[in-house]
Structure 1
Amino acid sequence: MTIQGWILILGFVAILLALTKPVGSWLFALYEGRRTPLHVVLGPVERGFYKLAGIDPSAEQSCRRYAVHMLLFNAVLMLFTYGVLRLQGMLPGNPQGLAGVGEHLSFNTAISFTANTNWQSYGGESTMSNLSQMLGLTIHNFLSAATGIALAFALFRGFARRSAATIGNFWADCTRVTLYLLLPLCMAITLFYIASGVPQTMAGAVTVNTLEGAQQSILLGPVASQEAIKMLGTNGGGFFNANSAHPFENPTALTNLVQMLSIFLIGVGLTWCFGKAVGNTRQGWAILAAMMILFLAGTSVTYWQEAAGNPILHDLSVAGGNMEGKEVRFGIAGSALFSVVTTAASCGAVNAMHDSFTALGGMIPLFNMQLGEVVIGGVGAGIYGFLLFAILAVFVAGLMVGRTPEYVGKKIEAKEVKLAVLAIAILPLVILGFTALSSVTEAGLAGPLNKGPHGFSEILYAYTSAVANNGSAFAGLTANTPWYNGLLGVAMWLGRFFIIVPMLAIAGSLAAKKHTPESAGSFPTTGGLWVGLLVGIILILGGLTFLPSLALGPIADHLAMIRGQLF
């Protein structure tokens, strides 16, 4: 580890904290439906959309109606994308003349982008046309992100409202987030990427002469615009197969920093927005403090392990840290930090191959996802996932003080606790169940490229990434098979929507309750004790649930490495 590396990490955190309140303030304006400076230009567009679609933005919905509209909207989008991919060969915007995508890969990809996972069992530049990238995939980058933020707003209203029967309007929330947040920010970030050397063209490729005198075809495309929403919406799907390790997606150390900030930007802003929504911004800062403790702990371990390197290579007189699978322009610190950011935020973009990390260095990205997409988490999904853990934490606190638990003025009763447990339990049930199934079947064992603990880690990582709606991969698993495309597609759908439905039920239940003022017997939920309890509950649940599987995978891999054993 170096001083420069720690300056990068701590500087990243400092910039992020400085942006938290401004971004949170803008999100709060959208949460309340207030007028913003952009309404002068975009207000007519918003009203025109409502008129065209026959939507009354002031007509609020119950939690059940909100959920039904959200599910139908996403189901239609998924079918639309499936159709675009299957018909790719007959559609325009295909300068390379690529054929239609196969049925099981189209199924997997359509679900992946609908669920904000962006798992890729394909090479983007060799499988998807420009039209498929822009229409079939990028549209989901915007709308799946907008859906997540809209759902977070719905839960905020559940905590903030008193004796209410509604939690907002799904269509209004999605429209405002897309028009006044995602589109303007993406336009600004796209221009920055173009200025930094990222291509933005409808051309398919350019032919160049190499130093050896041969000719090489270099693929191009509308990369910059997709890169902006890929990061800002915590989507992660790369235009190129190498993702953010490709110089056309992430050319410099500065673009690498901007990409990491983009991944976390909306997630941290939503913590402040939540505090403002419930009338106490300290609540939001307490949540962010717990998130940052988990993030910095994970970053420290990953950076330490990657900087320490591989003792087996050291014995062969190859000194230094572990640079395998990393880009020289980012180095160990920039790659380690990116790996923790992208898995903490369920983004899935990668600037290094996690399969090439040391055993414990690769375990932290895996564990980040197994904690339940709550260390910052995906846009919207991170904060509402974290609040599910907060409900469990305040329930434990209530048991300790011997009274009905309360959180931000709402009684947390049996119904909310049961629904929170149901939502959180989806993660281990699907991850461990599907991993076990793939570890004992011929079709499942045909996927990993490595044997022993590392091969098991590749399978475990794939299902963890799918259920946590992350989308990153260990890069050592051959996933473009009917077995993995099918099971991973099911896992992504369960991991997204089987958490959302109980969460919306909680929002509706809380909105109907009266406000309960704090008293001398209330457990404080803004101080250090509360932050420690939150961190403890998350680690205990994650640790107890996944420690056995981690012991079979990365921990066993690490012990073999320090003994000089190779598989």
Structure 2
Amino acid sequence: MGVVQIIAVIAILVLLVKPVGTYLYHVFSNEANGTDRIFGGVERGIYRLVGLRSREGMSWKKYAVSFLATNLVLVAFGYLILRLQGALPVNPNGAGGMEETLSFNTVISFITNTNLQHYSGESGLTYLSQMAVITMMMFTSAASGFSVAVAFVRGITGRPNLGNFFEDFVKAHVRVFLPLALVVTLILVALQVPQTLKPTLQVTTLEGTTQQIAIGPVASLESIKHLGTNGGGFFGANAAHPFENPSPLTNVIEILSMWMLPAALPYMYGRFANNRRQGWGIFAAMMTLFIVLLSLNFYAESQGNPAINAMGIDASQGSMEGKEVRFGIPQSSLFTTVTTAATTGSVNNMHDTQTPLGSITPLALMMLNNVFGGKGVGLINMLMYAILAVFLCGLMVGRTPEFLGRKIEAREMKLIAIAILVHPFIILAPTALSFLTDLGQGSITNPGYHGLSQVLYEFTSAAANNGSGFEGLADNTPFWNITTGLVMLLGRYVSIIAMLAVAGSLLRKQPVPETIGTFRTDNGLFTGILIGTVLIIGALTFLPVIVLGPVAEYLTLG
């Protein structure tokens, strides 16, 4: 029965890929289409309001500067709100201002689409902060990532230019995230997710004592949290909380919300490249990696904890520690795999309590740069690996490699090398640093191999802009706030700028005619080579630390 549930959700996702991908192509192709009649008037009003008179295409440098400047303004605004929230309105529960390093970590976390939370949302933030900072950045960070992904696709597919960042930014809001978020919010409200500005409820329990029950504008945050692959929870328990995710039906809606747009981007790319087979090939590579790691997690959690099994306790229900009974292992495993494959970070079960082998799945997906990725990140990363695969194949046959009719040369490979190498560096170096300092070791709550996994997961999640965590780590300290904040910045912006530079470089090149010797990138062979490239690079980089953490813990328990 559990496998049937998983297959059904995957089948729905696959059916959504083509229509959603087609819609995204029409939104960002800058060609006249039916969506202009619906949204064009609103967008023109916004352009006049912000003074955007000309929307000509940008160079990659101008596009990158526009992206960074917009993010910087939003960071400054968000930081001020968090520091001053105690003196601002819409604070019915009397929350105070947020501490300096925690404010830094929080604004960096949400502007980078990471949404790593070193605070508990229901007690650490006011309603104004939840809406004006957290929800606002969930929209803007997702729209920023989407815009960069579309610009990158335009560059490598030979469009006249990368487009205009501000036009793409507005379109992503008006035509994608706002309408979808409105629909999902209304559905969640209908399914009993709270949406209110009333203060915390005080109720009398059956024992006669009083209890405080936090409520608030939950449904609106929950919708963009998943659609934007953000992941920050209104409550500390995130999507395991019954107010955020009350039933198996809402669980499926939230899974599809965070998975639908990233999964549709390869098809959109295929439309831009005028080669839909290649788009499906990229999607097939993503889905193959996803299913392999989903199977590992589902199998491991279904087998139960080896230490508990050795006591003779019935393990027929699998390892239910840290999981909600209303979801069970199938929907918990699927949620875990989707949230780390799509760099969302939302959790409906505690990853810290998963079995050692089961915890390899979320770690591996983030180490492999999120497979499906968030708003555009996964597509950019997979195309980066595709260009690398073409380059390696070209070297093996002694031919200058080409991708989509343009030669791949030293400049592009240097930039791709930067994007690939920075990811393991900002994971492994801070992990090692944490074990060399009392500031880092003092927050580790589990000794031995699991303690290593806690620290490794924290920095992997930050570097991959995911935001989920092994919650046993006591991470709300200046050391962890500052180090993870820096890792999130590097994880977001270094690779984005490098890949925009690749797109700009390829855009300037003259197309090369296809010949009989051209290496095809739209067949099953290339899909297999792409999967192999991703796995080989991931294994060479991260396998030793995976052995020291989850694998060693599993062998010890066994």
Give how far 1:38 is off. Answer: 5.0
Equivalent residue letter for 1:249: E
| Partner-residue secondary structure (3-state), 1:461 | helix
Q: Which residue of 1 aligns with 2:2?
A: 5
Whether 1:111 aligns to 2:79 is no
Q: Which residue of 2 aligns with 1:296?
A: 291
> Deviation digits for residues 158-182 of structure 1, max 9, x if unmatched?
12226x4x31100000100110110
| Partner-residue secondary structure (3-state), 1:207 | strand
Whether 1:212 aligns to 2:207 is yes
Contact 1:232 1:263 in 2 (8 A): yes
Give how far 1:139 is off. Answer: 0.8
> Deviation digits for residues 6-27 of structure 1, max 9, x if unmatched?
1111111111110001110111
Q: Which residue of 1 aligns with 2:280?
A: 285
**CA–CA separation in structure 2 for the residues paired with 1:507 and 1:41:** 31
Q: Which residue of 2 aligns with 1:549?
A: 545
> Deviation digits for residues 17-50 of structure 1, max 9, x if unmatched?
1000111011101111245555445322211111
Give how far 1:314 is off. Answer: 1.6
Give how far 1:57 is off. Answer: 5.0
Equivalent residue letter for 1:444: G
Whether 1:134 aligns to 2:131 is yes
Whether 1:258 aligns to 2:253 is yes
Whether 1:238 aligns to 2:198 is no
Deviates further, 351-360 or 151-160:
151-160
Give how far 1:216 is off. Answer: 1.4
Equivalent residue letter for 2:443: G
**CA–CA separation in structure 2 for the residues paired with 1:57 and 1:124:** 41
Q: Which residue of 2 aligns with 1:15?
A: 12
| Partner-residue secondary structure (3-state), 2:212 | strand
Unmatched tracts of structure 1, length 5 or more: 563-567
| Count of aligned positions | 556
| Partner-residue secondary structure (3-state), 1:216 | strand
Give how far 1:58 is off. Answer: 3.0
- Picking from 17, 25, 29, the partner of 2:26 is 29
Whether 1:92 aligns to 2:86 is no
- Picking from 45, 63, 69, the partner of 1:66 is 63
Equivalent residue letter for 1:360: L
**CA–CA separation in structure 2 for the residues paired with 1:263 and 1:288:** 16
Q: Which residue of 1 aligns with 2:177?
A: 182
**CA–CA separation in structure 1 for the residues paired with 2:163 and 2:192:** 42
**CA–CA separation in structure 2 for the residues paired with 1:333 and 1:238:** 22
Contact 1:230 1:236 in 2 (8 A): yes
Q: Which residue of 1 aligns with 2:525?
A: 529
Whether 1:444 aligns to 2:428 is no
Whether 1:340 aligns to 2:328 is no
Contact 1:57 1:172 in 2 (8 A): no
Equivalent residue letter for 1:7: V
**CA–CA separation in structure 2 for the residues paired with 1:433 and 1:259:** 34
Give how far 1:517 is off. Answer: 3.0
Whether 1:472 aligns to 2:468 is yes
Q: Which residue of 2 aligns with 1:380?
A: 376
**CA–CA separation in structure 2 for the residues paired with 1:508 and 1:8:** 44
- Equivalent runs, 1:330-369 vs 2, <5 Å: 330-369=327-366
Equivalent residue letter for 2:13: L
Equivalent residue letter for 2:282: I
- Equivalent runs, 1:408-447 vs 2, <5 Å: 408-447=404-443
| Partner-residue secondary structure (3-state), 2:511 | coil
Give how far 1:518 is off. Answer: 2.2
Cα distance change on mapping 1:24 and 1:57 into 2, 3 Å: farther
**CA–CA separation in structure 2 for the residues paired with 1:124 and 1:359:** 29
Cα distance change on mapping 1:244 and 1:120 into 2, 3 Å: same
Contact 1:401 1:521 in 2 (8 A): no
| Partner-residue secondary structure (3-state), 1:510 | helix
Percent identity of equivalent pairs: 49
User: What's the TM-score once normalised by structure 1's chain length?
Assistant: 0.97
Q: Which residue of 1 aligns with 2:510?
A: 514
Give how far 1:56 is off. Answer: 3.3
Contact 1:461 1:474 in 2 (8 A): yes
**CA–CA separation in structure 1 for the residues paired with 2:32 and 2:398:** 45
| Partner-residue secondary structure (3-state), 2:274 | coil
**CA–CA separation in structure 2 for the residues paired with 1:36 and 1:459:** 49
> Deviation digits for residues 120-168 of structure 1, max 9, x if unmatched?
0000001011100100111110111011111111111112226x4x311
| Partner-residue secondary structure (3-state), 1:201 | coil
Contact 1:57 1:169 in 2 (8 A): no
Q: Which residue of 1 aligns with 2:302?
A: 307
Deviates further, 24-33 or 110-119:
24-33
Contact 1:207 1:216 in 2 (8 A): yes
Cα distance change on mapping 1:247 and 1:385 into 2, 3 Å: same
| Partner-residue secondary structure (3-state), 1:87 | helix
**CA–CA separation in structure 2 for the residues paired with 1:73 and 1:432:** 30
- Picking from 29, 44, 51, the partner of 2:41 is 44
| Partner-residue secondary structure (3-state), 1:203 | coil
Give how far 1:315 is off. Answer: 2.2
- Picking from 393, 396, 402, the partner of 2:392 is 396
Contact 2:281 2:523 in 1 (8 A): yes
- Equivalent runs, 1:190-229 vs 2, <5 Å: 190-229=185-224
Contact 2:231 2:344 in 1 (8 A): yes
**CA–CA separation in structure 1 for the residues paired with 2:505 and 2:269:** 18
> Deviation digits for residues 485-523 of structure 1, max 9, x if unmatched?
000000000000011111110110111112223221111
Q: Which residue of 2 aligns with 1:565?
A: none
For the aligned residues, what is the CA RMSD?
1.1
Equivalent residue letter for 1:376: F
Contact 1:130 1:202 in 2 (8 A): yes
| Partner-residue secondary structure (3-state), 2:213 | strand
Contact 1:431 1:460 in 2 (8 A): yes
**CA–CA separation in structure 2 for the residues paired with 1:35 and 1:560:** 61
Contact 2:27 2:35 in 1 (8 A): no
Give how far 1:481 is off. Answer: 0.1
> Deviation digits for residues 384-416 of structure 1, max 9, x if unmatched?
111111111110111122211111222111111
Equivalent residue letter for 2:438: E
- Picking from 265, 268, 276, the partner of 2:271 is 276
**CA–CA separation in structure 2 for the residues paired with 1:409 and 1:12:** 37
Q: Which residue of 2 aligns with 1:453?
A: 449
Contact 1:57 1:171 in 2 (8 A): no
**CA–CA separation in structure 1 for the residues paired with 2:402 and 2:137:** 37
**CA–CA separation in structure 2 for the residues paired with 1:244 and 1:36:** 37
Q: Which residue of 1 aligns with 2:158?
A: 161
Contact 2:26 2:35 in 1 (8 A): no
**CA–CA separation in structure 1 for the residues paired with 2:391 and 2:97:** 51
- Picking from 472, 494, 500, the partner of 1:498 is 494
Whether 1:324 aligns to 2:336 is no
